[in-house]
C-alpha cells in the first residue's frame, strides 16, 4: 500500500477505536485521533482505564468493524457542528479553530465524528488487522497548561503477516532496549545529583565510546582531516551572528558570569567556533579546503519528558567536521565524506538510504538566507546523490535552519530506521561571519562551509548498536575481549600466565577466579556478552593450550595460546562483524 493508503487505514482505525470506547464508556469525551508513524492514537477525557481494559475495547472494535461498510462524509456549518458537539468542549475548540474552513463529519455504522477525511473504502473488509498497544497521558494540544487526557495507542496493517511482524519487532525491541542492556553490562549510569539526560560513563562504557570515535579518527587521518578542540561555552554574540540565538534559542543552555554582565551559552554545536579558527588568519585559495574535526562535548536543553537513555540526552559529542572550501571543491569533498560513511556503515552492518532534507518554502521564517541560495544548495546536494546512484527520498521541512542536509537513515537488524550521519552545504554561515579567502586574481571570495558528522553522536550510536547487536558487540568493539576461567585454584598460575600473554598483545582480558562453580562463572560471562572464554584445567596446563568457547556456547576446542591470539587479533584488527 502507498503511504497515503496506510495512513487512511490507520486513521479509519482511530475512528473505530473511538466508536468502541464510546459504546463501552459513554461518559468519555472524544478529542482527536490521527494516524501517526507505525500506527494511530485517540485522546479521551473522562476515561479511567488501564491496559488491562484494552482487550475488551479491541474485541468491541472487531465486532463493530463488521457493520462498517463505508465512510460517508457530509459538510456542516460551524453552527450545526456546535449544536452536535455542544457537550464536548474539545470538539467546540476545534470547530472554533477551523470555523473559516470547510467542516465535515464522517459516519460509519452508527458512529460519526468531526473529521477532515482520509479513510478507506471498505472498512468491513479492510479493518481486520489491528492491535491496541498502550495507554499514556497526553496534554490537550500538547500544552502542559491544559488538562491531561488519556491517550490510547494502536497500530494497523493491511495484512496479518505485516501486523505479526511489527508486533514481533516491538517485543524484540523491548528485549534489546539499550537502557536495560546498558545497565546489565555496566556501561553508564545516571544520577539525580548530576541531572537528567547527563550520562556518566563507566570504564567499560568509556572503552566503547572511545572505540567508536577512534574508528572515525583513523579514517579521518587518511583523508587529511585535522582535529581541533574548542571550549564548551561561548559568548552570546557568537550565536547571534551564527543565527542560533534567533532560530535555536529554546535549546540553548544560558550561563552567566559572576564578574560581568556578559551572557554565555553552552555550545549546541561546533560550527560557530570553527568559523573563528578559520577567521584567525588570512586564507588563500591555495589553502582550501581546510578541514577541522572536533569531538568536543555539546549541550542542548531538552524537555525532561523527552529524554530517553542515550538516544536523547542533554550532553553528547559528535564526530563533527567542518570543511571550508571553494565552490569548485564541493562535490569532491562531499564524495570523500560519503565514501567514509559507506565504509563505517558497512563495518557496523547497517543498510541505509539518504533523506534529502529540504527547507519548507511555505515557512521562510524558520530559515536563514534567501530562496535562490537555498535552491542552489539543494540542487548541489541532490546532484551528488544522483551522481553516486544513491537511494534517497525528499524530506521537505527537515533541513537545518542554515542548510539542506543529506541525512543517512540506517536500518538496524530489527528493520527499524535511525538517522545517523549528516552532510550539509552551508553558504550562509561564512557570509554571516564575513569569512574570506583571496582567489587566484587577488580578489576576496567567501568560502563554502560543509558540515559533516559520520556516526553523528557516538553516545547515541552506542545505544543504537546495543539494540542492533542485542548487546553482543563485535569483538573489536567489546569492552572485554576475553574472560579466563580457571577450573580450580591449582590452575590459577597458568591462567595468570595466559592473562599476561593476552595483555602483551593489547587484548582486553579479565580473569574470573571467583569462588563459584565453573558453570556459574560461564553463565555470568555469557550475560556480560563477552565474545570469548578461555577455560583452563588440567588438560590445558599439561598441553600448554587453552579451551576456547564463544558467548553463544560454541566450543572451539583446544588451541595454543599463540594460535588463539593470532585469530583474535585478525578479528579485532579487521573489525570483523562476527
Which is catalytic among the residues 314, 322, 468, 529?
322
Strand-strand pairing, 444-445 and 417-426:
unpaired
Cα distance between residue 343 and residue 337, in whole Å: 10
Known catalytic residue: 62? no
Which is catalytic among the residues 43, 294, 320, 412?
320
> Do 242 and 272 contact (CB within 8 A), yes or no?
yes
> Do 450 and 334 contact (CB within 8 A), yes or no?
yes
Helix segments in 203-329, DSSP class H? 203-222, 236-242, 244-247, 271-278
* Site of grid cell 466508536: 19
Known catalytic residue: 300? yes
Output b/e per residue, 433-444; b: 16+ Cβ within 10 A: bebbbeeeeeee
94 alpha carbon, distance to own chain's centre: 33
Output b/e per residue, 26-60; b: 16+ Cβ within 10 A: eebbbbbbebeebbbbbbbbebebeeebbeebbeb
Known catalytic residue: 320? yes
Known catalytic residue: 170? no
577, 575, 37: which is closest to 350 by C-alpha?
577
466, 471, 461, 487: which is closest to 549 by C-alpha?
487
Which is catalytic among the residues 60, 131, 355, 451?
451
**Among positive and negative, which fits the CA dihedral 91, 303, 152, 11?**
positive
Query: What is each CA distance from 96 to 103, 104, 115, 142, 349, in whole angstroms?
Result: 11, 14, 14, 18, 51
Query: What is each CA distance from 555 to 54, 247, 257, 471, 550, in whole angstroms?
Result: 46, 58, 62, 21, 7
> Do 433 and 397 contact (CB within 8 A), yes or no?
no
Which is catalytic among the residues 11, 244, 405, 452?
405
Known catalytic residue: 271? yes
Known catalytic residue: 322? yes
Strand-strand pairing, 392-396 and 351-358:
parallel
Which is catalytic among the residues 13, 115, 271, 325?
271
Cα 570-575-578 angle, rounded to 5 deg: 85
Q: Which residues have a catalytic role annotated?
A: 271, 300, 318, 320, 322, 405, 451
Amino acid at each position: 500500500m502507498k503511504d497515503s493508503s496506510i495512513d487512511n487505514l490507520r486513521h479509519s482505525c482511530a475512528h473505530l477505536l473511538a466508536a468502541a470506547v464510546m459504546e463501552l464508556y459513554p461518559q468519555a469525551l472524544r478529542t482527536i485521533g490521527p494516524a501517526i508513524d507505525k500506527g494511530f492514537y485517540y485522546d479521551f477525557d473522562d476515561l479511567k482505564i488501564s491496559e488491562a481494559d484494552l482487550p475488551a475495547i479491541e474485541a468491541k472494535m472487531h465486532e463493530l468493524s463488521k457493520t462498517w461498510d463505508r465512510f460517508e462524509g457530509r459538510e456542516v456549518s460551524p453552527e450545526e457542528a456546535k449544536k452536535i458537539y455542544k457537550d464536548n468542549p474539545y470538539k467546540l475548540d476545534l470547530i472554533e479553530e477551523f470555523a473559516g474552513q470547510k467542516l465535515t463529519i464522517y459516519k460509519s455504522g452508527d458512529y460519526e465524528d468531526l473529521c477532515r477525511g482520509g479513510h478507506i473504502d471498505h472498512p468491513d473488509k479492510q479493518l481486520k488487522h489491528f492491535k491496541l498497544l498502550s495507554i499514556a497521558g497526553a496534554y490537550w494540544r500538547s500544552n502542559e497548561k491544559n488538562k491531561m487526557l488519556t491517550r490510547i495507542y494502536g497500530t494497523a496493517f493491511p495484512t496479518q503477516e505485516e501486523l505479526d511482524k511489527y508486533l514481533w519487532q516491538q517485543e524484540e525491541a523491548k528485549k534489546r532496549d539499550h537502557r536495560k542492556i546498558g545497565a546489565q553490562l555496566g556501561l553508564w549510569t545516571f544520577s539525580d545529583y548530576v541531572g537528567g539526560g547527563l550520562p556518566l560513563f563507566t570504564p567499560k562504557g568509556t572503552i566503547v565510546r572511545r572505540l567508536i570515535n577512534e574508528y572515525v579518527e583513523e579514517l579521518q587521518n587518511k583523508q587529511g582531516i585535522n582535529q581541533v578542540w574548542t571550549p564548551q561555552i561561548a559568548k552570546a554574540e557568537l550565536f547571534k551572528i551564527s543565527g542560533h540565538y534567533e532560530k535555536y534559542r529554546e535549546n540553548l543552555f544560558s550561563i552567566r558570569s559572576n564578574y560581568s554582565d556578559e551572557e554565555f551559552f553552552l555550545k549546541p554545536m561546533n560550527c560557530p567556533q570553527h568559523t573563528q579558527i578559520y577567521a584567525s588568519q588570512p586564507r588563500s585559495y591555495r589553502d582550501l579546503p581546510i578541514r577541522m574535526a572536533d569531538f568536543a562535548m555539546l549541550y542542548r536543553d531538552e524537555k525532561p519528558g523527552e529524554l530517553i537513555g542515550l538516544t536523547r540526552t542533554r550532553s553528547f559529542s559528535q564526530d563533527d567536521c567542518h570543511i571550508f572550501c571553494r565552490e569548485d571543491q564541493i562535490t569532491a569533498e562531499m564524495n570523500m565524506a560519503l565514501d567514509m560513511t559507506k565504509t563505517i556503515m558497512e563495518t557496523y552492518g547497517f543498510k541505509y538510504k539518504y533523506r534529502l532534507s529540504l527547507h519548507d518554502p511555505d515557512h521562510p521564517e524558520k530559515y536563514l538566507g534567501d530562496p535562490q541560495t537555498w535552491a542552489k544548495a539543494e540542487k548541489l546536494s541532490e546532484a551528488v546523490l544522483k551522481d553516486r546512484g544513491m537511494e534517497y527520498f525528499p524530506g521537505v521541512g527537515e533541513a537545518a535552519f542554515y542548510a539542506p542536509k543529506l541525512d543517512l537513515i540506517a536500518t538496524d537488524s530489527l528493520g527499524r530506521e535511525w538517522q545517523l550521519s549528516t552532510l550539509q552545504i552551508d553558504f550562509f554561515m561564512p557570509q554571516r561571519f564575513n569569512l574570506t579567502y583571496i582567489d587566484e586574481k587577488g580578489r576576496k571570495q567567501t568560502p563554502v562551509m560543509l558540515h559533516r558528522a559520520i556516526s553523528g553522536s557516538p553516545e547515541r550510536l552506542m545505544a543504537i548498536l546495543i539494540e542492533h547487536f542485542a548487546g553482543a558487540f563485535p569483538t573489536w568493539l567489546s569492552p572485554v575481549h576475553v574472560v579466563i576461567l580457571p577450573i580450580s585454584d591449582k590452575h590459577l598460575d597458568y591462567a595468570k600466565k595466559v592473562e599476561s600473554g593476552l595483555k602483551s598483545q593489547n587484548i582486553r582480558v579479565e580473569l574470573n577466579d571467583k569462588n563459584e562453580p565453573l558453570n556459574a562463572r560461564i553463565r555470568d560471562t555469557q550475560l556480560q556478552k563477552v565474545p570469548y572464554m578461555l577455560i583452563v584445567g588440567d588438560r590445558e596446563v599439561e598441553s600448554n593450550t587453552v579451551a576456547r568457547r564463544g558467548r553463544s556456547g560454541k566450543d572451539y576446542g583446544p588451541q595454543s595460546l599463540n594460535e588463539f591470539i593470532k585469530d583474535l587479533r585478525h578479528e579485532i584488527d579487521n573489525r570483523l562483524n562476527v
